[in-house]
A and B are shown apart, each in its own frame.
Chain A
Amino acid sequence: MINQNSKPLLEVQGLHATVNGVAILKGIDLTINYGEIHAIMGVNGSGKSTFAKVLAGHAAYQVTAGNVLFDGKDLLALAPEQRARTGVFLAFQYPIEIPGVANSQFLRLAYNTVQTQRGKDELDPLEFDDFVREKMKLLEMNPDFLDRSVNEGFSGGEKKRNEILQMALLEPRLNILDETDSGLDIDALRIVANGVNQITNNDNATILVTHYQRLLNYIVPDYVHVMESGRIVKTGGKELALELETRGYDWISAENSATEGAVL
């Protein structure tokens, strides 16, 4: 929700990044205030997933220029785990499977690690069990998820729900959802979106990386940004997503190159 008085949570200035020497992000500028939901859309290869991973600190991506401030502090100076502890959360497009580790163990380990870093008390297994079961209701998750190995044998929808469950547990300030809608049927999409909507509030902000407008029917963005070739080329309100849905992405490319041509 846009709130004129809210502080900036994330300030991205001229962000450039490469992977294996190939430039992927070519100057991103974006400011996100507390309470806001931003959708980042674009065709495959436009750099939107890279942007999400760079914010989370993936080692395969080198930041070659630009700054990212998180609550006024340099985010890029932090290791991925420090970013997580300070409140950045990336819901993965392809969550990994960890056979041999029970989901409950993993969730409690992550929760307690982050809690300790934030100067709060850890929960013992029984306390955690009560806590996590409450959160699982948000996502209509079957309690047997806790006893299964992390993501092993989970369906696509179950994996995504497990991601949002982690988001609910870790209470980040910046939620980044990387293509969370991909591979979900309409029921799973509704459940996941409903979970996200219950987590978003004025003390956090959310970035939805998505290719399709469908997710935005359920999680309504305050801003929609369109990425192309590593830059944000257009920004609008939620109606921009609807326009993309009907007109596709080509008109933006055309408009963009026309603008560039005009400048030249």
Chain B
Amino acid sequence: MSEVVSNHYLDDLLKTYPQHSTSALPWLSQLRTEAVDRVNALKMPTTRDEEWRFTDISPLTEVPCQPAQTMAQLQPAEIKHHYLQEAATRLVFIDGQYAPALSAISNESGIVVGNLSTLLTSYSAKIAPHLGRYVSFNDNIFAALNAAFLHDGAVIIVPRDTSIAPPIHLLFIATQKEVTSYPRCLIIAEPGSQVTVVEDYIARHEEPYVTNSVTEVSVADNAHVNHIRLQRDSRQAFHVANCTATLAHAGNFQSINVALGARISRCNLNIQLASEGAECTVNGLALIKKQQLADTHTFIDHIKPNGTSRQLHKCIVDGAAHAVFNGKIMVRPNAQQTDSSQTSRNLLLTGQAQVNTKPQLEIFADDVKCAHGATVGQLDPEEIFYLKSRGLSELAARNLLTYAFGAEIIDRIPVISVKNQLEKAVLEYTQSLES
């Protein structure tokens, strides 16, 4: 994890950056140039950086960093089982590249949805104020890399006072090993609009690769966005995600973040309650085993008065896996009448399983209601005995209790088919546990 190694990695990475890809749009060219400058200036984080204390990301630099050079040809029949039956719109990206043949777009109610490079020409004026504006890459090497490689992505613009009932499925499929993809999502919910987006990462192999994603969400006045993020990458993969949502007056952001895959995953979720009366709910579940590491950093920033935030983050850790949760809640001097609660609950299934949880409250206003707490524990012997006394075997009892622990988050997912898929995934996880 020496700096020498890290900088070689970044140098190699920048060689792959397509120099000729200057966009016809000056603002976009400028964004990329700034990002390239930051990549040149920044170093890969090490465990000496406070923000990366528990997560040694250096193994990521062992994976070649080039984006996929060719696009795998997938037939719809091969991936259909990953589709969400409720979704009318589905954008499919294969190893980071948009796959129009596998995608389906419904422009119901005037919603603008599609891939960035297609929409840029017609919607440049709508996209420019948001793209690259919320996830800052100034001191974030992964966000800078994503912006430097920015060429395509998913864009959703929900017009004013429009409610889109069917969820929008953004499906990112990894098919190639030893490549890096740079997914980018932009969700713009205009005033009074409502939308549900499922950002879904899956793999068709169990090989190493890197996913470095950026998601930006703008929730305008009285808009309501449900964002479900499912990370189901290969167990050899590295997944770094930077997601920022910014909420205007009485904006509502409901986030559910599930991490099942990846050898090492890191999700930075920032939510800015930038105007009065904004409200967010942040639910998280990490379900990991063997040598996996899942790191979630959240930052909920109460900037203006009368904001509400609710957070429940759960980790189920088996084998020698390692979960990290760092949940910071900031209540700025202006943010009077803030109502905030945060809970981190962690279930360790073995003696080798590890969790580092750090709820952090920073309050600079004097008239607020804030609660937080963290628990780390094992399955309760009294609960196991109760189930055994009803005829369940030790293993069945442990599985049921583990399942129940995760189900509390999964039950909150507003898309039935996602809920069913995850319930199945949790059942498979618990059934694979050793007795």
Q: Which residues of A contact B (CB under 8 A)?
A: 56-60, 79-81, 83-85, 89-90, 92, 95-96, 98-101, 106, 109-110, 113-114, 117, 149, 166, 170
Min Cβ gap B27→A in Å is 47
B376-424 at interface with A (beta carbon < 8 Å): 380-383, 385-394, 396-397, 400-401, 403-408, 411
In the complex, the answer to whether B404 meets A100 with C-beta atoms within 8 Å is yes
In the complex formed, the residue of B with least CB distance to A150 is B404
Which A residues touch B394, using CB under 8 A?
A: 79, 81
In the complex, the answer to whether A100 meets B390 with C-beta atoms within 8 Å is no
In the complex, the answer to whether A84 meets B391 with C-beta atoms within 8 Å is yes
Which A residues touch B405, using CB under 8 A?
A: 100
Kindly state the interface size class of chain B when it binds its partner. Answer: 20 to 34
Quick one: given A84-B388, A113-B391, are A101 and B407 in contact (CB under 8 Å)? yes
Which B residues touch A113, using CB under 8 A?
A: 390-393, 396
Min Cβ gap A91→B in Å is 10
Distance A106 CA – B397 CA, assembled complex (angstroms): 11
Most A CB contacts (10 A, CB to CB) among B382, B390, B392, B407 go to B390
Partner of A81, one of B391, B400, B404, B408: B391
In the complex, the answer to whether A96 meets B404 with C-beta atoms within 8 Å is no
In the complex, the answer to whether B386 meets A92 with C-beta atoms within 8 Å is yes
In the complex, the answer to whether A109 meets B381 with C-beta atoms within 8 Å is no
In the complex, the answer to whether A114 meets B404 with C-beta atoms within 8 Å is no
Distance A60 CA – B382 CA, assembled complex (angstroms): 9
Distance A96 CA – B404 CA, assembled complex (angstroms): 13
In the complex formed, the residue of A with least CB distance to B385 is A58
Main secondary structure of the interface of B (DSSP, over half): helix
Quick one: given A98-B404, A101-B403, A101-B407, are A170 and B385 in contact (CB under 8 Å)? no
In the complex, the answer to whether A98 meets B391 with C-beta atoms within 8 Å is no
Q: Which residues of B contact A (CB under 8 A)?
A: 380-383, 385-394, 396-397, 400-401, 403-408, 411
Which B residues touch A98, using CB under 8 A?
A: 383, 400-401, 404
Which B residues touch A92, using CB under 8 A?
A: 386, 389
In the complex, the answer to whether A81 meets B383 with C-beta atoms within 8 Å is no
Partner of B385, one of A80, A85, A106: A80
In the complex formed, the residue of A with least CB distance to B397 is A81
In the complex formed, the residue of B with least CB distance to A58 is B385
Which B residues touch A81, using CB under 8 A?
A: 388-389, 391-394, 397
In the complex, the answer to whether A85 meets B404 with C-beta atoms within 8 Å is no
Distance A81 CA – B392 CA, assembled complex (angstroms): 6
In the complex formed, the residue of A with least CB distance to B383 is A96
In the complex formed, the residue of A with least CB distance to B393 is A81
Which B residues touch A117, using CB under 8 A?
A: 391
Contact sample, A vs B, 21 pairs, CB 8 Å cutoff: A57-B388, A57-B389, A59-B381, A59-B385, A79-B394, A80-B389, A81-B388, A81-B391, A81-B392, A81-B397, A84-B389, A90-B389, A98-B400, A98-B404, A100-B403, A100-B404, A109-B392, A110-B387, A110-B391, A113-B391, A114-B390
Min Cβ gap A75→B in Å is 13
In the complex formed, the residue of A with least CB distance to B411 is A100
In the complex, the answer to whether A109 meets B385 with C-beta atoms within 8 Å is no
Which B residues touch A99, using CB under 8 A?
A: 404, 408
In the complex, the answer to whether B407 meets A100 with C-beta atoms within 8 Å is yes
In the complex formed, the residue of A with least CB distance to B406 is A100
Min Cβ gap B259→A in Å is 18
